[in-house]
């Protein structure tokens, strides 16, 4: 029987989702795409159940493609699959942590990873202190939860920075103030890490005067060979956040690489086209190997249990003996 794979995605027509589906069939999965927001979850003492459009869902493996806007409810579905014994690529806790930019930055900084100076601003009363603690202008202000370069701004002076922070608070956003790395203006490095290995890396460049280099904002991409230091930093960043699959974003500074963030659902289009690497295939093949190992381990356990039953041996108080009837 082919192992059952669920891809959690609200965008079945998106490039990344389609590529993962394509590679899933190639590697022998019986795969389906499920909208995480259309799932019914039942929690009980037996591990719970998941229903989708009236039918119970069982999975041997799960690939979460959870968008930022549904991080919390989407992660609860991921957690339920974990409870039901599925092998999940990026567990719920790692997804939630990676989505909180300041919490993720704290974890990485505590582990010794190089990160830009960052301050999460809690109120307008603290705005001036936060801005002056960063130091020189320009500086970067971004939402602490966001993706693809959305809600990221470069500010040249304090009045404009304060005005932007005020607007963000009015809209219920949680601003993060970050130092600006001049030598990395308009470019950054994206590294795909899968289970502790770098599988692809690219340099992203912004278009025109834009300082955000995201592919979805019209930036250009090209393959890049990482230095040993850059590769090690990317691998450690993914590990510290508990991510099996991560898109690690780094800046090049005068003092070396700085980690911006690690994305738990990295886009595949830009990096596959830039590098020619079958990233989706590497992700799926690694997951297939984990499922195979789990099945082999389970079969070995059952085989050992059958051998013990057949020989009439029992384990009592840590000692082997013969089963006898009284």
Whole-number pLDDT of residue 234: 98
Classify 66 as helix, strand or coil: coil
Cis peptide bond upstream of 138, omega within 30: yes
Summarize the confidence of residues 98-108 as an average pLDDT.
93
Give the pLDDT score at 52.
95
pLDDT tens string 237-291:
999 999 999 999 999 998 999 999 999 999 999 999 999 999 999 999 999 999 9
Residues 55-99: tens digit of each pLDDT: 999 999 999 999 888 999 999 999 999 999 999 999 999 999 999
Q: Which range among 110-114, 144-148, 206-210 has the greatest average pLDDT?
A: 110-114
Is 191 in contact with 247 (CB distance < 8 Å)?
Answer: yes
Average pLDDT over residues 218-237: 92
> Is 321 a residue whose pLDDT tops 60?
no
Who contacts 288 (Cβ-Cβ below 8 Å, separation ≥6)?
3, 27, 28, 29, 61
Q: Is 125 exposed, middle or buried (0-12, 13-18, 19+ CB in 10 A)?
A: exposed
Asked if pLDDT for residue 138 goes beyond 80, the answer is: yes
pLDDT at 173: 86
Higher pLDDT, 321 or 204: 204
Percent of the chain past pLDDT 90, that is, above it, reads: 71
d(CA 114, CA 308): 53
Task: Tell me the mean pLDDT in the region 295-299.
Answer: 80
pLDDT at 161 over 90: yes
Helix (H, G, I), strand (E, B) or coil at 1: coil
Q: Is 263 exposed, middle or buried (0-12, 13-18, 19+ CB in 10 A)?
A: buried
List C-alpha distances in Å: 215 to 73, 119, 220, 225, 299. Answer: 27, 26, 6, 19, 45
Give the chain's mean pLDDT: 88
CA 199 – CA 246 distance, rounded (Å): 11
pLDDT at 303 over 80: no
- Give mean pLDDT, residues 220-243: 96
What is the structure's pLDDT at 310? Answer: 57
Q: What is the pLDDT of residue 318?
A: 41
Could you tell me the two tokens for 125?
């009363």
Strand partners, 275: none
Length of the chain: 326
CA distances from 217 to 204, 211, 269 (A): 11, 10, 13
Contact 101, 176 (CB under 8 A): yes
Which domains does the chain show, CATH number per domain? 4-97 (3.40.50.20), 117-180 (3.30.1490.20)
Cα separation, 252 vs 57, in Å, equals 45
pLDDT above 90 (res 325): no
Query: For residue 320, is pLDDT > 70?
Result: no
């Amino acid at each position: 029987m082919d192992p059952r794979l669920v891809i959690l995605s609200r965008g079945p027509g998106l490039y990344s989702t389609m590529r993962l589906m394509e590679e899933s069939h190639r590697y022998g999965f019986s795969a389906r795409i499920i909208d995480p927001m259309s799932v019914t979850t039942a929690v009980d003492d037996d591990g719970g159940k998941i229903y989708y459009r009236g039918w119970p869902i069982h999975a041997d493996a799960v690939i979460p493609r959870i968008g930022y806007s549904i991080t919390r409810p989407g992660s609860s579905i991921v957690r339920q699959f974990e409870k039901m014994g599925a092998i999940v690529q990026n567990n719920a806790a790692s997804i939630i942590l990676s989505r909180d930019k300041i919490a993720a930055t704290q974890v990485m900084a505590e582990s010794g990873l190089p990160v830009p100076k960052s301050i999460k601003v809690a109120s307008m009363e603290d705005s001036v202190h936060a801005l002056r603690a960063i130091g020189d202008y320009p500086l970067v202000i971004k939402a602490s939860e966001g993706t693809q370069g959305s809600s990221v701004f470069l500010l040249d002076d304090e009045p404009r920075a304060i005005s932007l922070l005020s607007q963000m608070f009015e809209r219920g956003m949680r601003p993060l103030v970050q130092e600006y790395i001049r030598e990395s203006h308009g470019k950054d490095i994206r590294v795909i890490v899968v289970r502790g290995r770098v599988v692809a890396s690219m340099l992203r460049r912004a278009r025109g005067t834009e300082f955000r280099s995201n592919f979805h904002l019209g930036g250009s991409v090209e393959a890049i060979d990482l230095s040993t230091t850059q590769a090690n930093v990317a691998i450690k960043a993914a590990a510290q956040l508990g991510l099996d699959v991560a898109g690690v974003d780094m800046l090049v500074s005068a003092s070396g690489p700085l980690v911006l963030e690690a994305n738990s659902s990295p886009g595949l289009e830009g990096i596959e086209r830039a590098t020619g690497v079958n990233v989706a295939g590497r992700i799926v093949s690694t997951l297939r190997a984990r499922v195979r190992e789990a099945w082999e381990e389970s079969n070995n356990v059952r085989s050992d249990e059958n051998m013990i039953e057949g020989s009439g041996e029992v384990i009592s108080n840590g000692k082997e003996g013969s089963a006898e009837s009284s």
